[in-house]
Amino acid sequence: MLASDLPRLAAPFAPTDVEWKPGATTRDKSKGLAMAYLTSRAVQQRFDDVCGPGDWRNEFREGPGGGVLCGISVRVERERSDGTAEVEWVTKWDGSDNSQVEAVKGGLSGSMKRAAVQWGVGRYLYELPATWVRLDDRGRFAETPQIPRAFHPAGSAGQARPPQRSADGGAGPQQSSGGGRPQGPRPTPRSGQRRIVRPAPSGDGDSRPAGPGV
């Protein structure tokens, strides 16, 4: 890949690609600190999209204290002053401890995501303002944390919402992109009856952000 394309690795992800988990909780366990993170698949897809499947690779080594080190290498092409091309493999390393659940798999995944941050992938998640989100009885988020628009990809229309379901299990009416009421067929006014058109509500809705999780 061209060296000029490297900044594309650091571009924000669509809000639907960002995962969440509770961090610290309040004493009564009613709210949790939202921690944003990326899955390994999202990281792999970003390198495939920006670099191309054949122009990046990863490798793993045993880290100190039983952890795992991951190195992500990218084939970078630069143009020399004489107009010729210079191609080299650039590798950036980081590591992670083995996780408590599925220790080896968790260690590999964690080290890869940390190495990806060295390339800028998902680094912006560390800049998200912290927020506390309501938890349900099982300690899970009762509502999906929101990402401020400043951290959305360029041209993003906002955070997608899942389609509502009707009583018979079918898909209900879709929400408008502005977060207003469901859109559906508008009735035709009868003769002599006025139609009142109300403007769509402004704003991003619940735009509470969250801190990063790795």
* Domain definitions of the chain by residue range: 3-155+207-212
How many other β-carbons are positioned within 10 Å of the β-carbon of residue 101?
7
How much is the pTM?
Answer: 0.69
Report how far apart, in Å, the C-alpha atoms of 126 and of each of 3, 37, 141, 162 are: 25, 9, 20, 26
Q: How far, in Å, CA of 161 to CA of 143, rounded?
A: 11
CATH class, 3-155+207-212 region: alpha beta
Q: How far, in Å, CA of 208 to CA of 190, rounded?
A: 43
Question: Once rounded to an integer, what is the mean pLDDT over residues 56-73?
Answer: 92
Q: How far, in Å, CA of 94 to CA of 71, rounded?
A: 7
Residue pLDDT, tens place only, 18-55: 999 999 999 999 999 999 999 999 999 999 999 999 99
Residues in the chain: 214
